[in-house]
Amino acid sequence: MSGLIRLRSFIQAMTRLADTGTDERRWLDEGADLLRGLVAQDDWLPAEMAEAGPTYRQYLLHCDPAERFCVVSFVWGPGQRTPVHNHTVWGLVGMLRGEEVSTEMRPGAPMRPGQVDRLRPGEVVAVSADTYDIHVVENAFADRVSISIHCYGGNIGAIPRSVFDPTTGAARPFTSGYHNRAVPNLWDRSRELAA
Ligand SMILES: [Fe+2]
């Protein structure tokens, strides 16, 4: 299995998990296992969903039609980082290429750093209101692109969220959107059938 077949199989397995009426704990356990399987190989992400830009980019790879989950490619240019932000839904982060550092930020003025996770290729971590929901994420490298694959418990680009001023702790409304206007075509099986 290679290329988009790998992504399609992952999305099909995630959809089957959603169809079981999944609670968050199962997403964070079984969804994490599925994502670990997806990021174990780096041969499937379309090149146009792996391009870095002047700021970090979020490419939507798939959104469940009922918006129960989504799959996003995060592409970090050298040294790029997010603002301090929250999610409001569960999230899974799997490292595909390069490395990134996620630092939990605890409320206060100033906000204080908490748990720090350094992610290497193949590794998966979760964010959740039950563990931590506010963090800052950055490319661990100043000289190369890093890419992680994220899944969230909703259509993350359209969910009203917050970014925070780390000095004052003040929140400001934030809705991330997506960089791309078209998602990968997972459904043209003609080449697979011809092969
Ligand atoms: Fe995040």
Question: How confident is the model over 2-55, as pLDDT tens digits?
Answer: 689 999 999 999 999 999 987 899 999 999 999 999 999 999 999 999 999 999
Looking at the domain assignment, is residue 189 inside a domain? no
- Mean model confidence pLDDT for the chain: 95
Count of domains observed in the chain: 1
Domain hosting residue 132, numbered range = 4-179
Tell me the mean pLDDT in the region 132-144.
95
- Give all strands (DSSP E) within the chain, no chain letters: 57-63, 70-76, 84-85, 91-97, 100-106, 112-119, 124-127, 135-139, 146-152, 161-164, 171-174
- The mean-pLDDT minimum among 68-72, 116-120, 128-132 falls in 128-132
**Residue 124: predicted pLDDT:** 96
Task: Name the pTM for this structure.
Answer: 0.94
Looking at the domain assignment, is residue 48 inside a domain? yes
Residue burial 157-179, b: 16+ Cβ < 10 Å; e: rest = bebebbbbebeebebeeeeeebb
Looking at the domain assignment, is residue 25 inside a domain? yes
CA of 191 to the centre of ligand 1 (A): 36
**Residue 127: predicted pLDDT:** 86
Q: Looking at residue 141, which CATH number applies to its domain?
A: 2.60.120.10
CA of 102 to the centre of ligand 1 (A): 8
CA of 137 to the centre of ligand 1 (A): 7
Looking at the domain assignment, is residue 193 inside a domain? no
Looking at the domain assignment, is residue 195 inside a domain? no
Confidence of residue 128 (pLDDT cuts 50, 70, 90): confident
Looking at the domain assignment, is residue 22 inside a domain? yes
Both tokens of 180, joined, read: 């791309």
Looking at the domain assignment, is residue 46 inside a domain? yes
**Residue 192: predicted pLDDT:** 79
Separation of CA 142 from chain center = 21
Looking at the domain assignment, is residue 186 inside a domain? no
CA of 126 to the centre of ligand 1 (A): 10
CA of 44 to the centre of ligand 1 (A): 23
CA of 133 to the centre of ligand 1 (A): 8
**Residue 1: predicted pLDDT:** 55
CA of 86 to the centre of ligand 1 (A): 6
CA angle, corner 190, sides to 42 and 17, nearest 5?
55
Q: Is the pLDDT of residue 171 over 60?
A: yes
CA of 3 to the centre of ligand 1 (A): 26
Q: Cα–Cα distance between 121 and 43 in angstroms, integer?
A: 13
**Residue 190: predicted pLDDT:** 86
User: Judging by beta carbons within 10 Å of its beta carbon (0-12, 13-18, 19+), is residue 64 exposed, middle or buried?
Assistant: middle
CA of 20 to the centre of ligand 1 (A): 26
Q: Cα–Cα distance between 133 and 170 in angstroms, integer?
A: 16
Using left for φ > 0, alpha for ψ between -120 and 50, and beta otherwise, residue 122 falls in: left
**Residue 194: predicted pLDDT:** 81
**Residue 191: predicted pLDDT:** 78
